[in-house]
Amino acid sequence: MEKTDYQIDGKKYSISIEDSPLFELGKDEVLSTKDSDITFGQPWYNIGFSEKDFLSKEEFKSLLAGLTSSIKEIIQKELSVNTEGFELENYHNFVLDDAKHFKIVSKTRDLFAEDFNYPVMELTNRLSEILGFNLTDINPKDQQKVHIIVRINRPKSNDYNPPHKDIYEGVDNDSYIPKFVNFWIPIAGVTKNSSLPLAPESHKLNEKLIYRTFDGGMMEGNKYRVRMIKSWNRENGLVRSTVQNGQVLIFSGHLIHGLAINNEEDKTRVALEFRLFKKND
């Protein structure tokens, strides 16, 4: 079986890439520039990400309750199971196999504001304040609303994406660099063993140093739409974000991230993910 190695916080992981599309180096170009990356000019631009204080304890509690209620309703509707005692961290005790899980995440990875039992779009104004410019969920390319994703990652599972850049689909399919910024908000079960891994400063690399697929990816038998990155500048190491409850992880759409293996023994990890664009005033 063909495998490749990565490191997360210095620990080695050997991952199956059997039946993966072809890996190739990119063109001689840097995609993150002042004109193409709206995080350019942020105090943290050079590293590519930042963890910022975001919600008070009361606000976080309200968000957690709203998302718990929303996910609970989806489970009841899709699986018709008794959800008495349900909490996000014990999700895996209610959704008991991959088939049931995939049924749930087919809904939770494609949500809009009206699907939440919480005024989720009110968070946009707070995120705009952090960055210093107005944000919108309307993609300027097609004027369509961008969906909101609830990432659900069961313990000791394969519920994670390969290392990737979010901009690559637009670049490969349409020769277009989407100008969005990523927001990743921890909701439940986010620890030093389960948080999102990132490759610091990787957004500034020349594409000729990035060894990746150009048509999806295959990892541990799962097929992915995102382009899978095998190495960058001959490196394969990521570091987990230290983002805490009540904070938000902000990162460039050009930054390499992924491989969010949940090493917790008995905690499902749940995070809320936005991709937002700079609003033209």
Domain parsing of the chain, residue ranges: 3-278
User: Which pLDDT value is given to residue 229?
Assistant: 98
Q: For residue 145, give the DSSP letter.
A: B
* Beta partners for residue 278, in sequence order: 135
In angstroms, rounded to a whole number, what is the distance separating the alpha carbons of residues 180 and 190?
24
Name the nearest CA neighbour of 36 among 274, 252, 280. 252
User: Which pLDDT value is given to residue 113?
Assistant: 77
User: Which pTM was predicted?
Assistant: 0.95
Q: Which two tokens stand for residue 186?
A: 């921890």
Digit-coded pLDDT (tens) for 215-228? 999 999 899 999 99
Burial label for 79, CB within 10 Å (0-12, 13-18, 19+), is middle
In angstroms, rounded to a whole number, what is the distance separating the alpha carbons of residues 142 and 179?
13
3-class secondary-structure state, position 168: helix
Percentage of the chain modeled with pLDDT above 70: 100
- Range with the largest mean pLDDT of 86-95, 117-126, 133-142: 86-95
Q: Which two tokens stand for residue 246?
A: 């009540």
CATH of domain 3-278: 2.60.120
In degrees, to the nearest 5, what angle opens at C-alpha 176 toward C-alphas 200 and 148? 65
* Predicted confidence (pLDDT) at residue 117 exceeds the cutoff of 80: no
In angstroms, rounded to a whole number, what is the distance separating the alpha carbons of residues 173 and 178?
12
* Predicted confidence (pLDDT) at residue 146 exceeds the cutoff of 90: no
Name the nearest CA neighbour of 217 among 255, 176, 258. 258
Name the nearest CA neighbour of 279 among 179, 211, 191. 179
Task: Judge contact between 71 and 92, C-beta under 8 A.
Answer: no
Q: Give the CA distances from residue 145 to residues 84, 139, 141, 264, 274, in Å, rounded to whole numbers and listed in that order.
A: 34, 6, 11, 34, 11
* Predicted confidence (pLDDT) at residue 57 exceeds the cutoff of 90: yes
In degrees, to the nearest 5, what angle opens at C-alpha 241 toward C-alphas 238 and 246? 165
Digit-coded pLDDT (tens) for 228-281? 999 999 999 999 999 999 999 999 999 999 999 999 999 999 999 989 999 876
